[in-house]
């Protein structure tokens, strides 16, 4: 007791600062190491690493995203009622229409132009939905001026109508980067002193990308000897960019995907447990989700959603083991739902 009374506040403060600095350095070093390791593996043997990465991490990362979104979902929508109704309605409509695209493709006349128009219409609906969400969010933040989003939306729509397939390919490459934005927002809320270091580390990203392009631009294209390899190269845009080495395209896309998985599977869960500092913050404890914990919450619904998610992840692994190519196709079609769901939750964090 006497020893405790003798402790000086300055000693406490310096010890705390030293601990924070150490953790910040570990965070930055881990981040840089992850970026470099991802780039190295993605450039070295892109096809095998892509197959293994999707097999191992695709399903679990969706489960972690679902949990994160449930954590962010308020018990009562209140002022955000219109925002969330628009978000969920748009999510349902866009996901259903996206699922029906293969059917439309089969039923459509044998015209590439007609198909491109269908894709352009879907992309326009997506951009329109985003614009409405931004507008609804801007009404909740009267101090900020978000009117710039309207001309930007029209410009993106114009680009989409010029070349719908390139716009869709751009979405494939941009989507992994959204996870980095989520991490930025999360740090700003929970660890504001880490944000500057994180952003400095992110400056490494374009440098690594330029190095990858420089190193891989002259490489021979990857073999498309079987259906699976062909699918992977097509997903990265090999058909749209025939003059670019498919090795480069697959590597860059895989690199971004690995960062995406890293954020959802490592960074956000670890930071969450670090921040909450309680046993109830563990990822498998579904009662730690505010939506389930609140007296007026929905514990059964949250428990069912997370339990169903675990079953889906296990089914995905079984599917990958039996028929990797078909399961991959089905997964990337269904995965549009999580791509779309990121938009409203990210907007709520801005």
Partner 1 sequence: MKPLLAISCFVLIVLSTAFVVHADIPKPKPSQKSGNTTIFSSLEIVPDPKANNAKLQIHQSDLKALRAALDGQSTNTTLATSISHSGPRTIVAGVLLFLSLSFGGVWLARTSRSGATLNRGQKTVAVLLVTAATLGAAAIITRGNAGPPPAYRWKNLPTALAAGESTAGPVMIEVIPDDPNTGTGMVLTIPLKKKNAQGDDE
Residues that bind partner 1 (CB under 8 A): 112-113, 116-117, 120, 145, 147-166, 239-243
CB-wise, 58 or 157, nearer to partner 1?
Answer: 157
CB-wise, 8 or 106, nearer to partner 1?
Answer: 106
Residues 6+ apart with CB under 8 A from 78: none
Least separation in angstroms between residue 220's CB and partner 1 is 11
Least separation in angstroms between residue 209's CB and partner 1 is 19
Least separation in angstroms between residue 241's CB and partner 1 is 7
CB-wise, 216 or 306, nearer to partner 1?
Answer: 216
CB-wise, 112 or 218, nearer to partner 1?
Answer: 112
CB-wise, 3 or 113, nearer to partner 1?
Answer: 113
Angle at 119 between CA 118 and CA 120, to 5 degrees: 90
| Token duo for residue 237 | 């845009």
Q: How far apart are CA 307 and CA 312, in angstroms?
A: 9
Least separation in angstroms between residue 350's CB and partner 1 is 10
Q: How far apart are CA 195 and CA 260, in angstroms?
A: 18
CA atoms within 13 Å, Cβ hemisphere of 182: 28
CB-wise, 253 or 328, nearer to partner 1?
Answer: 253
| Token duo for residue 247 | 């090795």
Least separation in angstroms between residue 243's CB and partner 1 is 6
Least separation in angstroms between residue 136's CB and partner 1 is 18
CB-wise, 59 or 237, nearer to partner 1?
Answer: 237
Answer whether 105's CB lies under 8 Å from 114's CB: no
Tell me the helices (H) and strands (E) count for the chain, helix number first: 16, 0
CA atoms within 13 Å, Cβ hemisphere of 220: 2
One DSSP character per residue, 91-140 reads HHHHHHHHHHHHHHHHHS-S-HHHHHHHHHHHHHHHHHHHHHHHHHHHHH
| Token duo for residue 87 | 């978000």
SS3 for 204? helix
CB-wise, 184 or 285, nearer to partner 1?
Answer: 184
Give me the sign of the Cα torsion angle 283, 316, 238, 241.
negative
Least separation in angstroms between residue 233's CB and partner 1 is 14
Least separation in angstroms between residue 109's CB and partner 1 is 13
Answer whether 123's CB lies under 8 Å from 167's CB: yes
Single out the residue of 179, 145, 151, 163 nearest to residue 64, CA to CA. 179
CB-wise, 243 or 279, nearer to partner 1?
Answer: 243
Least separation in angstroms between residue 117's CB and partner 1 is 7
Q: At what angle do helices 112-140 and 336-349 cross, to 10 degrees?
A: 20
């Amino acid at each position: 007791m006497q020893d405790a009374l003798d402790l000086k506040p300055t000693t406490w403060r310096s010890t705390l600062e030293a601990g924070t600095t150490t953790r910040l350095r570990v965070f930055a070093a881990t981040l840089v190491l992850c970026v470099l390791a991802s780039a190295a593996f993605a450039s070295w043997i892109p096809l095998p690493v892509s197959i293994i990465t999707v097999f191992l991490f695709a399903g679990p990362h969706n489960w972690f995203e679902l949990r994160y979104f449930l954590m962010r979902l308020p018990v009562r929508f209140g002022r955000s009622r219109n925002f969330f109704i628009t978000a969920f309605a748009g999510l349902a409509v866009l996901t259903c229409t996206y699922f029906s695209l293969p059917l439309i493709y089969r039923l459509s006349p044998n015209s590439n132009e007609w198909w491109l128009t269908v894709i352009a219409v879907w992309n326009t609906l997506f951009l329109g939905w985003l614009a409405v969400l931004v507008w609804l969010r801007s009404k909740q933040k009267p101090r900020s001026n978000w009117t710039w989003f309207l001309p930007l939306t029209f410009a993106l729509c114009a680009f989409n109508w010029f070349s719908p397939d390139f716009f869709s390919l751009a979405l494939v490459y941009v989507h992994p980067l959204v996870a980095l934005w989520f991490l930025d927002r999360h740090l700003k809320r929970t660890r504001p002193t880490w944000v500057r270091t994180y952003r400095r580390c992110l400056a490494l990203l374009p440098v690594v990308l330029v190095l990858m392009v420089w190193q891989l631009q002259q490489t021979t294209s990857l073999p498309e000897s079987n259906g699976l390899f062909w699918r992977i190269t097509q997903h990265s845009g090999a058909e749209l960019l025939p003059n670019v080495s498919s090795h480069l395209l697959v590597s860059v896309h895989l690199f971004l995907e690995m960062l995406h998985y890293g954020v959802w599977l490592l960074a956000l869960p670890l930071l969450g447990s670090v921040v909450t500092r309680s046993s109830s913050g563990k990822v498998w404890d579904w009662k730690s989700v505010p939506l389930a914990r609140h007296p007026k919450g929905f514990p059964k619904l949250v428990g069912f959603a997370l339990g169903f998610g675990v079953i889906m992840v296990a089914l995905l692994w079984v599917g990958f083991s039996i028929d990797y190519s078909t399961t991959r196709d089905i997964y990337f079609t269904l995965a549009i739902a999580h791509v779309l769901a990121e938009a409203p939750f990210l907007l709520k964090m801005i």
